[in-house]
Amino acid sequence: MDLKIDSRNVGMTPNWKTEIEERMAALEMEESNITHARVTLTKNAHHKNGSHNAEALIVLTLPPRHTITARKDAKSFEEAIRAAFSAAETEIKKFREKPSSHHVSKTPGPYHGVISKIFPQEAYGFIIQDGGGEIYFHRNAVHDFSFEELEDGMEVSFNMEQGVKGPQATTVNPQPILF
């Protein structure tokens, strides 16, 4: 792991550096996938009432390209370092508990049904799907056919998703007539 420790507007003490290195080593024992870490201590002179002028910022990089950031202000650098590392540990746990982004969800379909109502002036209609249930569709969902050529009773295949007012067809394709 690549670790960079620096400070701004304050000199880095050996105690702070040692504490950061020890906490980083402990964090790395739990989370061996950390590829890069940067810890910056900053003295902020312009805070209200002069309180909470010690800031610790931790930036961690985990594969493949995920960045975790923890920034904490406190009255002392020791407190800020402890709080920032605690926050970083919490963020790592949240990241590890998230479902994998590599999961590919397959959309079921296509579904089959029959056009039950068409409203040409309003540019929408409804499909009765096999097994029951009425599905809304808009003229923009019609493919391989023009909206004007659709008729009540025409067999169609379609994909659907949940819309604001219920299920709606995202694509509508006429079924070929087989002889």
Q: Where are the domains of the chain?
A: 2-97, 111-174
CA distance 2 to 37: 6
In the numeric block, which tokens belong to residue 79?
Answer: 């407190």
Predicted local distance difference test score (pLDDT) of residue 30: 79
- Mean pLDDT lowest for which of 47-51, 61-65, 106-110, 150-154? 47-51
Q: Provide the b/e sequence for 66-84 (b: ≥16 CB within 10 Å).
A: eebebbbbbeebeebbbbb
pLDDT digits (tens, 9 = 90+) for 39-92: 999 998 765 555 568 999 999 988 877 888 899 999 999 999 999 999 999 988
Mean pLDDT of 6-34: 90
The CATH code belonging to domain 111-174 is: 2.40.50.140
Same fold? 2-97, 111-174: no
Beginning with the edge strand found earlier in the chain, give each strand of the sheet holding 36-43 in spatial order.
2-8, 36-43, 54-62, 66-74
Predicted local distance difference test score (pLDDT) of residue 78: 95
CA distance 152 to 130: 15
Mean pLDDT of 161-171: 85
CA distance 138 to 86: 51
Q: Tell me which of 60 and 106 has the higher pLDDT.
A: 60
User: Selecting from 3.90.180.10, 3.40.50.1100, 3.30.160.100, 3.40.640.10, what CATH number does the domain 2-97 have?
Assistant: 3.30.160.100
Place of tokens 């096999």: 130
Q: Rounded to two decimals, what is the model's pTM? A: 0.54
- Average pLDDT of every residue of the chain: 85
Which residues, including other chains, have CB under 8 Å from residue 29's CB and lie 6 or more apart? none
